[in-house]
Each structure stands twice: as C-alpha cells, then as structure tokens.
Amino acid sequence: GAVVSQHPSWVICKSGTSVKIECRSLDFQATTMFWYRQFPKQSLMLMATSNEGSKATYEQGVEKDKFLINHASLTLSTLTVTSAHPEDSSFYICSARENRPPYEQYFGPGTRLTVT
C-alpha cells in the first residue's frame, strides 16, 4: 500500500519557538495533502488543505499565520507551528491524497508536539 512518512515523530520545544513538521508521500504523488490535529482521546480535526504550488486552505478557526503550510513538491508538505504555546501541544497527522481514482487518502504516523 501507499506509504506516507512524517518527521519528526515527536518533538519537544519551548514556548515561543517554531517547529517544522514534514509530511512525505514515499511511493506516490500527491497534489493534495491534508493536515489534521488530534487531542488525546479525541477525533481528528481537519486543520488545512495543502495544495502543491498554491496557497493552503485553512478550516474555520485555524490561524493561518500560526500554522504555516508549504507544499513545495508533489511528495512533500510542511507544517510550521510558529510561536508555539502549550495549548498547541497535540498530535499532528498528515494525509496524502492519490492523484488518480479512487483518490484514497493515506495517513502518516503522526507527530507528537509538546510545548513546554
């Protein structure tokens, strides 16, 4: 099956610093990738849609200046959490959508962010 990787798998940072998370589709091209956030024992919430070569689309309530998304190639999207605060601590998961039918979405293993 299609494989999506994320790096790092976990990161601890100090409040006020920025953290970059990478999402890669390893064996397929993905014009579109998605970023989700999951709090403990809760469901996944879509944060933004990342489109290769264009600006990301953010869901209502998600600060685009805080969560910077760059989709530089057909296999790589990055999420940068800027000026991180403890309330940004969460499990961030990306998914990559195949460019051909049935347009399956495959998820990465997630990145655990802890802001101290």
Partner 1 sequence: QQQVKQSPQSLIVQKGGISIINCAYENTAFDYFPWYQQFPGKGPALLIAIRPDVSEKKEGRFTISFNKSAKQFSLHIMDSQPGDSATYFCAATYSGGGADGLTFGKGTHLIIQP
Q: Which residues bind partner 1 (CB under 8 A)?
A: 1, 4, 6, 31-32, 34, 36, 42-46, 49, 51, 59, 93, 95, 97, 102-110, 112
**C-alpha to C-alpha distance for 114 and 98, rounded to whole angstroms:** 30
* Beta carbon of residue 13, minimum distance to partner 1 (angstroms, whole number): 19
Shorter beta-carbon distance to partner 1: residue 15 or 45: 45
Q: Tokens for 108?
A: 């990465």
Rounded to a whole number of angstroms, the minimum distance from the CB of residue 6 to partner 1 is: 8
Q: CB 45 → partner 1: shortest distance, Å?
A: 8
